[in-house]
């Protein structure tokens, strides 16, 4: 497998991918390691996770540079991702014992009812490339704390990062085989699906997720899907903080080059503030610096995948053919690397792919609406349900809209935000199951009820 730097289009490493037989061997080792690991106390497991977090901090600079080189994320955002991952790990370190320790839920003389939380066994963590540390730690940290072994399949666009993560675990002294990275593209992931693992935790696109879920269903083991989105943002009337709203919306749409599962993918603006908002929005977009992602002042790096340029170009052409108007950008840069100009299209509607299909790039459509009711109708017009944002001075108005939206997260005056304390989940084509929060700690264990009677 050739690892290509998307900023230079140069091959930075040639990797040997795992064969089917090697993946089967890895599964065998993982099963053995898991039996040792589950016997360790939760406190001992947490000590190992602390070591991992410490190593991550120590290597931050080197790991951030590697991530930038292999998937194009600007270096400042790569550093931020590793710091964000550490914050999430800290949450798990501080809270896991509380939610995984055996509990006596009822007792009377001679009789006890107890819940214990058992590991699933060996689980597959099949991951996307856009935030390999963040979406990785959402799964592999609570999975390991819960006593499982992990076969981690990073995307083909973040293989080197995946191998570094495995190296860190090995340096923490975990039983050999407890955490193993699977090297290879989709076919390596498919081999994991073909094996009898005890849980499947997938982050990626709806299309791949659906194909995997269909196959895992027959195994009768836990399965979670964290999939894509077409996340809407609505700017309501009477908003005196339009400049701040525009700046926040630009960040929500263009951070990580728009390649976030919860990126703002479409914007609706009340007619009373529409013109002011789009002027402020475009001013902000024109200030985004595009260039070498190793330059710490750069905000827009290259896309991770070359083929995404065609997807963006197609959405722009389709929108223009249906009456959309380009206010900035509109094409790929004529330079080495997969760079695409940050692009804003207005006069949009829901006949356009731009407003209905996942974009996953530095491109946003803005549509004018006459009132909250129309905004709500349009925001709901999607099979996805990951997040939605309302920018308004009135919390109650925002909650009324957010409460009616079938999404896993609702944002008032913010967007593209993830907290370790809150559940991360989707609805519809954005998937199902939960990571993060106390609910996400328990996603990787199975409860067992004990009925304990002293006398027969």
> What residues are labeled active site?
226, 261
From the list 53, 130, 359, 367, which residue makes contact with ligand NDP (rule: CB under 6 A)? 130
Contact 21, 191 (CB under 8 A): no
Contact 305, 263 (CB under 8 A): no
From the list 227, 233, 363, 378, which residue makes contact with ligand NDP (rule: CB under 6 A)? 227
From the list 6, 74, 146, 189, which residue makes contact with ligand NDP (rule: CB under 6 A)? 189
For position 190 contacting ligand NDP by CB under 6 A, the verdict is yes
For position 208 contacting ligand NDP by CB under 6 A, the verdict is yes
From the list 18, 70, 81, 156, which residue makes contact with ligand NDP (rule: CB under 6 A)? 156
Question: For residue 116, how many other CB atoms are within 10 A of its CB?
Answer: 14
**Alpha-helical segments (H) within 19-131:** 20-37, 42-58, 60-71, 75-100
Tokens of 144: 């390991």
> What's the angle, vertex CA 341, arms to CA 344 and CA 254, rounded to 5?
65
- Shortest approach of ligand NDP to residue 429 CB, angstroms? 10
Tokens of 435: 């990571």
- Shortest approach of ligand NDP to residue 259 CB, angstroms? 7
For position 153 contacting ligand NDP by CB under 6 A, the verdict is yes
From the list 49, 75, 120, 126, which residue makes contact with ligand NDP (rule: CB under 6 A)? 126
CA 162 to chain centre: 15
Binders of ligand NDP in range 377-396 (CB under 6 A)? 386
* H or E segment to which residue 125 belongs: strand 122-126
Size of the site for ligand NDP (CB under 6 A): 32
From the list 135, 143, 366, 420, which residue makes contact with ligand NDP (rule: CB under 6 A)? 135
* DSSP letter (8 states) at residue 340: B
**Which C-beta is closer to ligand NDP: that of 212 or that of 269?**
212
For position 132 contacting ligand NDP by CB under 6 A, the verdict is no
Write the interaction track for ligand NDP spanning residues 416-435; mark x where CB under 6 A is met and - where it is not. ----------x---xx----
**Which C-beta is closer to ligand NDP: that of 330 or that of 361?**
361
Alpha-carbon distance of 298 to 110, in angstroms, equals: 67
- Shortest approach of ligand NDP to residue 270 CB, angstroms? 27
Alpha-carbon distance of 374 to 372, in angstroms, equals: 5
- Is the dihedral angle over the CA atoms 163, 165, 166, 167 positive or is it negative? positive
**Which C-beta is closer to ligand NDP: that of 229 or that of 440?**
229
Q: Which stretch binds ligand NDP (CB under 6 A): 105-113, 122-130, 161-169, 234-242?
A: 122-130
Contact 191, 210 (CB under 8 A): no
For position 146 contacting ligand NDP by CB under 6 A, the verdict is no
Contact 360, 312 (CB under 8 A): no
- 290 Cβ contact list (under 8 Å, min separation 6): 298, 299, 300, 301, 333, 339, 341, 342
Contact footprint for ligand NDP (CB under 6 A): 126-131, 135, 153, 155-156, 185-186, 189-190, 193, 203-205, 208, 211-212, 226-229, 261, 358, 360, 386, 426, 430-431
């Amino acid at each position: 497998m050739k690892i290509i730097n998307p900023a230079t289009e140069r091959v930075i490493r040639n990797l040997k991918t795992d064969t089917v037989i090697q993946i089967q061997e890895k599964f065998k080792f993982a099963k053995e390691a898991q039996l040792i690991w589950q016997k360790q106390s939760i406190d001992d497991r947490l000590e190992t996770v602390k070591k991992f977090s410490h190593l991550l901090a120590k290597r931050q600079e080197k790991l951030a540079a590697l991530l930038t080189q292999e998937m194009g994320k600007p270096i400042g955002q790569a550093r931020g991702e590793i710091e964000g991952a550490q914050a999430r790990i800290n949450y798990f370190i501080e809270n896991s014992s509380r939610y995984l320790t055996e509990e006596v839920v009822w007792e009377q003389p001679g009789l006890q009812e107890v819940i214990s939380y058992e590991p699933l066994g060996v689980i597959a963590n099949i991951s996307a490339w856009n935030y390999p540390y963040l979406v990785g730690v959402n799964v592999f940290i609570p999975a390991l704390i819960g006593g499982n072994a992990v076969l981690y399949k990073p995307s083909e666009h973040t293989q080197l990062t995946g191998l570094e993560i495995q190296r860190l675990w090995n340096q923490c002294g975990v039983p050999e085989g407890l955490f193993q990275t699977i090297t290879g593209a989709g076919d390596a992931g498919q081999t994991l699906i073909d094996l009898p693992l005890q849980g499947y935790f997938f982050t990626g696109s709806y299309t791949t997720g659906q194909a995997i879920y269909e196959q895992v269903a027959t195994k009768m083991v836990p399965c979670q899907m964290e999939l894509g989105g077409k996340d809407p943002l609505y700017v309501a009337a009477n908003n005196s903080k339009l400049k701040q709203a525009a700046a926040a919306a630009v960040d929500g749409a263009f951070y990580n080059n728009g390649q976030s599962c919860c990126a703002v993918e479409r914007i609706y603006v009340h007619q009373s503030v529409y013109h002011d908002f789009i002027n402020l929005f475009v001013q902000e977009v024109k200030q985004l610096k595009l260039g070498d992602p190793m330059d710490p002042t750069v905000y827009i790096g290259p896309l991770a995948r070359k083929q995404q340029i065609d997807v963006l170009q197609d959405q722009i052409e389709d929108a223009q053919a249906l009456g959309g108007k380009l206010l900035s950008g509109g094409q790929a840069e004529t330079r080495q690397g997969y760079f695409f100009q940050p692009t804003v299209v207005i006069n949009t509607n829901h006949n356009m792919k731009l407003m209905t299909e996942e974009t996953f790039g530095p491109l946003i459509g803005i549509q004018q609406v006459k009132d909250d009711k129309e905004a709500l109708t349009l925001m709901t017009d999607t099979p996805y349900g990951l997040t939605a944002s309302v920018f308004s001075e009135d919390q109650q108005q925002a909650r009324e809209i957010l409460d009616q939206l079938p999404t896993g997260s609702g944002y008032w005056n913010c967007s593209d935000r993830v907290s370790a304390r809150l559940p991360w989940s989707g609805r519809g084509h954005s998937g199902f199951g939960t990571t993060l929060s106390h609910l996400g700690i328990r996603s990787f264990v199975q409860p067992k009820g004990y009925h304990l009677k002293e006398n027969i």
